[in-house]
Amino acid sequence: MKKLAVIIGAFLFILLLAGCQSEKASSSGDKGEKVKITVTTGQVADIAKSIGGDKVTVEALMGPGVDPHLYQPSQGDIKKIQEADIILYNGLHLEGKMGDIFERIQKEKPVVPVGEAIPKEKLIKSADDAKLYDPHVWFDPELWVYAVEETKEELVKLDPDHKGEYEKNAEQYIEELNKVKKEAEEKFAEIPEERRVLVTAHDAFGYFGKAYNMNVMGLQGLSTDSEYGLKDVQNLVDTLVNKKIKAVFIESSVSKKSINAVVEGTKKAGHNVKIGGELYSDAMGEEGTEEGTYIGMYRHNIDQISKALK
């Protein structure tokens, strides 16, 4: 039913969008006009804001706590998309059926899947479909640099008069990415290797695990649209009990129901597992908070995981 609802929602959105094709976005070439950017997720929004600075305005379709896998576009999103000079999104099927919408819009304006700038050999293949890749690429700051570079290049194409500023801002942002990755490496090096096990509601932390030599397990697959059953819960419970894992983590954009079922299952098996904390996975924190920025969100996750697993 969830899949059907998303498909219907996307279809209706396309119909509404088709009815508004006459409402063209204003030209970004007008002198003094800021570049209007519409993005999907908070992670992509943070790149756009950081590189664009005061030369751009950024509208994000998906706010804090919103699951991009299941996102259903609203009529209010039409205006944001129509008025944009450029649309940036993660890609790699993170946004589900929104990808179909973006394919239609790219005939009208630049539509850029920034996550797909990463070379395919650096991506993690889906265990369920050999043609698909894990879309949660922002969890390795080293890979996220490709998305930063792609955004910078697209802004320079659209607004060459401010090339120098975009390049400087991108350079500073990349320095911050390198810094936060080094912080993570240092903190996780303090965790005994046998305790480096990260258990979450869905399999969003594959790149995180690969970057920091951490074993990652999720109850659901790469998308929260995938179903899980009692067998999946029991398999994860057995793993936690057998490996004596002490903590699991909930996610800000995913229902706590699945992880709570796992915790209850371990209790029945005579093994106590605690909730190690809430992690930001597919969405970031509230705007205006530290966790509402990429770097702040990443540091929050580092701290939560480090404290729980030590």
For strand 35-39 and strand 274-279, is the pairing parallel, antiparallel, or unpaired?
Answer: unpaired
pLDDT score for 98: 87
SS3 212: coil
pLDDT attached to residue 27:
45
pLDDT tens per residue across span 218-236: 887 555 555 667 888 888 8
In this structure, CATH architecture of domain 186-309: 3-Layer(aba) Sandwich (3.40)
Residue that is written with structure tokens 């074993």 in the block: 215
**CA–CA gap between residue 234 and residue 265 (Å, rounded):** 7
Q: Which tokens is 38 given?
A: 């519409």
CB 209 within 8 A of CB 281: no
End-to-end CA gap in the chain:
41
Query: Exposure of 71 by Cβ count < 10 A (0-12 exposed, 13-18 middle, 19+ buried)?
Result: buried
Do residues 200 and 249 touch, judged by C-beta distance below 8 A?
yes
Intrachain domains 35-183 and 186-309 with the same fold: yes
How long, in residues, is the chain? 310
Domain boundaries, the chain: 35-183, 186-309
112: phi then psi, degrees, rounded to nearest 5: -125, 120
* Dihedral of the alpha carbons of 217, 202, 238, 274, in degrees to the nearest 10: 90
pLDDT of residue 300: 98
pLDDT along the chain (310 residues), means of 10: 47 49 46 90 98 98 91 88 96 89 89 98 90 96 98 98 98 98 97 91 91 90 61 87 90 84 91 93 95 98 95
Per-residue pLDDT at 235: 86
Q: Which two tokens stand for residue 258?
A: 């699945």
Give pLDDT, residue 22.
41
**Which pLDDT score, from 0 to 100, does residue 7 have?**
46
Indicate the residue type of 96. Answer: G
d(CA 301, CA 245): 18
CATH number of this structure's domain 35-183, picked from the four choices 3.40.50.1980, 2.60.40.10, 3.40.50.620, 3.40.50.720: 3.40.50.1980
Tokens of 118: 């990463």
